[in-house]
Structure 1
Amino acid sequence: MSYHKKYTLDRFEGDYAIFLQHPDETKQLLVHLGDIGVEVKQGDIVTIYDNGQTYEVQVLKQETANQKQHITNLMQQLREKNK
């Protein structure tokens, strides 16, 4: 049985990437770097397909860009509020 879910790449630890399930980011998924197959960076939002034996990771570039812009906007609002 295969399934796919969205995750955010939180960090790298040794030979593993630590993904947090999107959007609540409370559940973790550890994936060996050799199983990823695409270039990923911290903060990337991805879809991970799991067929029980292998993972297929797809970077969701537009969602990642939108999230980064949202964070940038929040940071700007905080800076302006603290002036």
Structure 2
Amino acid sequence: MSSNGKYTLDRFEGKYAVLLYRPDETVIVNADKDNLPANAKEGDILDVQFANDGSLKNATILEDETKKAREKAENLLNKLRNKK
């Protein structure tokens, strides 16, 4: 059964959204993408609650955490690009 908590929206596959449980992102959950916020996109960090049957009950985009994660990834990419 899936755990409530924070997930990264990794990608969309057909009618499903592939979510990675944070922080280590080793647990993968497939959820019906129709149950996500309409503006959810790959890379967003979500606060997710599951129903007792394991289906996605509610998901909220964590704007501040998503922004920080994107900035961190961008900084790492810039360091790699500028490394000589």
State TM-score, norm by structure 1: 0.86
How far 1:20 sits from its partner (Å)? 0.4
Number of paired residues? Answer: 80
Unaligned runs of 5+ in 1: none
Aligned runs of 1:1-80 on 2, under 5 Å? 4-53=4-53, 54-80=56-82
SS at match of 1:41: coil
How far 1:38 sits from its partner (Å)? 3.8
CA displacement, residues 43-64 of structure 1 (integer Å, 9 cap, x when unaligned): 0000101132551000000000
SS at match of 1:42: coil
Q: Specify the code of the residue in structure 1 equivalent to 2:75.
A: N
Of all paired residues, the percent bearing the same amino acid is: 35
Tell me whether 18-27 or 31-40 shows the greater mean CA deviation. 31-40
Q: Specify the code of the residue in structure 2 equivalent to 1:60.
A: L
CA distance in 2, matches of 1:41, 1:19: 11
State TM-score, norm by structure 2: 0.85
SS at match of 2:4: strand
Task: Report if aligned partners of 2:37, 2:60 keep a CA contact under 8 Å in 1.
Answer: no
Larger Rg, first or second structure (1 or 2): 1
- The root-mean-square deviation of aligned C-alpha atoms, in Å, is 1.5
CA distance in 1, matches of 2:69, 2:12: 20
